């Protein structure tokens, strides 16, 4: 889209998609998403200079921030969590005190930011998810390795996510435009 001069934005109101409710469903979904990100990034990076020229430098940088950093994060969270836990729970000096503090504070800031978002949006049902994020991120590493394996050995296979299994109640959707009044409808 950037190559054709389109701009992309963020949807302001919340979306009410159904999240997977089992680990298997989540793992399939996360694998599919990461595989799609990998595939998209690899295609765009076949010729990075041409892609940057066609997209423009700002859009190219935004694409790198969106895809490359997300992909790298998915692959490194597991190993980083392992190193952090090993440093915390064993006598091995894998990290300097400054590195250890920085890593723990990094996780704490992310959890605090998520809890702040829960508070600001008054949706405290997500607070449990915010607190368990440091456990969730390393699981994304498993999905990333599976996605990479599938991209190489099963490039045309995409795990599907079954929908309509959540006990969650449908959300009321508010219109962005005001509803048409009866007198306006008759005039039309």
Residue with tokens 């300097």: 96
Half-sphere exposure of 29 (CA within 13 A, CB side): 12
Residue 81: which of 104, 111, 54 has the closest Cα?
Answer: 104
Q: Say how far apart CA 166 and CA 169 lie, in whole Å.
A: 8
pLDDT at res. 185: 47
pLDDT at res. 18: 78
Residue with tokens 């996605």: 147
What region does 137 belong to: left with phi over 0, alpha with psi -120 to 50, or beta? Answer: alpha
User: DSSP secondary-structure letter at 47?
Assistant: S
pLDDT at res. 1: 80
User: DSSP secondary-structure letter at 11?
Assistant: -
pLDDT in tens, the chain (188 residues): 878 888 777 777 777 777 788 899 999 999 999 999 999 999 999 999 999 999 999 999 999 998 899 999 999 999 999 999 999 899 888 889 899 899 889 889 989 998 998 888 887 777 888 888 888 889 999 999 999 999 999 999 998 887 777 776 655 555 555 554 555 544 54
pTM for the whole structure: 0.77
SS3 assignment, position 118: helix
pLDDT at res. 44: 93
């Amino acid at each position: 889209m950037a190559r054709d001069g389109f701009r992309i934005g963020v949807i302001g109101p919340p979306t009410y998609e159904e999240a997977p409710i089992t680990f298997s469903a989540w793992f399939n979904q996360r694998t599919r998403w990461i595989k799609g990100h990998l595939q998209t990034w690899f295609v765009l990076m076949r010729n990075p200079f041409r892609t940057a020229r066609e997209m423009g430098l700002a859009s190219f940088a935004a694409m790198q921030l969106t895809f490359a950093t997300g992909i790298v994060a998915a692959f490194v969270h597991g190993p980083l969590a392992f190193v952090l836990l090993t440093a915390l729970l064993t006598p091995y000096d894998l990290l300097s005190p400054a590195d250890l503090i920085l890593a723990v504070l990094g996780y704490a800031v992310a959890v605090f930011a998520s809890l702040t978002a829960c508070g600001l949006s008054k949706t405290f049902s997500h607070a449990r998810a915010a607190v368990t994020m440091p456990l969730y991120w390393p699981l994304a590493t498993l999905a990333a390795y599976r996605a990479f394996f599938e991209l190489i050995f099963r490039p045309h296979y995409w795990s599907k996510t079954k929908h309509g299994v959540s006990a969650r109640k449908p959300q009321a959707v508010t219109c962005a435009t005001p509803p048409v009044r009866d007198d306006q409808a008759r005039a039309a």
